[in-house]
Structure 1
Amino acid sequence: MQFILHDWNDEKCIKILKKCKEAITRSKGRKGKVIVIDMVVDDEKSDGYNKSIETQLFFDMLMMVEVNGKERNEKEWANLIFSAGFSSYKINLSALGLRSLIEIFP
């Protein structure tokens, strides 16, 4: 499964992620993972002015205004992931330009 979650608020994201966890752990003996392709705002690792940070913040504004969603930093992603009942995750920052590859494990 793969999703983009930035156009959903936290409550809806948790609900979606819980359904995903349910789906990947349903079959006995087989466990999968959820793949999210989305932005991870890199607000803590930046040193000085960075065009990609500016673009990420622009998208954050756009999500808030258009669809009641938001761009999230790693701490916010972790909160969503653990709130949905997952045990771990791995983020590959900037794997796809401004977007990141987020692997979520049951």
Structure 2
Amino acid sequence: MFQAIPSADALLLKWILHEMTDEDCLKILKRCREAILSKEKGGKVIIIDIVLDLQGGKPESVELQLLLDLQLMVDVNGKQRTESEWKKLFEDSGFASYKITNVLSFRSVIEVFP
């Protein structure tokens, strides 16, 4: 998992990073950054995961997000992340920008660009 990734225009990580520690996420994201083309050539990493929104969400949604976060901490040493936590991971792994699109329920599509 932490070895080289073949070159690609885009890489998709669906429900992967929330199960990882920040250190393991950085290893994966750095490998992804090495593998994708430049932003001008259309390179990006697409992440489908949860972006914790503890301020603006409905109480039921926030409760579910926190419950899933607790389950991840206990089961696999992972965690749900806020936008600022995602941003730090992206910056620390060498990405220049990102775009978050909220989709159905609490899931988000995160596009990360070199």
Give the C-alpha shift of residue 45 in structure 1: 2.4
Aligned pair 1:7/2:19, yes or no? yes
Q: Distance in 2 between matches of 1:83 and 1:96?
A: 29
- Runs of at least 4 residues off by over 6 Å: none
List gaps (5 residues or longer) in structure 1.
none
> Aligned match of 1:96 in 83, 101, 104?
104
Q: TM-score, normalised by structure 2?
A: 0.82
Residues in 2 aligned to 1:96 and 1:11: alpha-carbon distance in whole angstroms: 29
Name the structure 1 match of 2:4. Answer: none
Determine the C-alpha separation between the residues in 2 that align with 1:22 and 1:35. 15
Deviation at 1:31, TM superposition (A): 4.2
TM-score, length basis structure 1 = 0.88
What's the counterpart of residue 37 of structure 1?
48
For 2:52, the aligned partner's letter is V
C-alpha distance in 1, partners of 2:81/2:47? 13
Distance apart, 1:98 and its partner CA = 1.7
Aligned residues: 101
- RMSD after superposition: 1.6
User: What is the CA distance between 1:97 and its match in structure 2?
Assistant: 2.1
Structure 2: gaps spanning 5 or more residues: 1-10
Asked if 1:74 is matched to 2:74, the reply is no
**Separation (CA, whole Å) in 1 of partners of 2:98 and 2:63:** 26
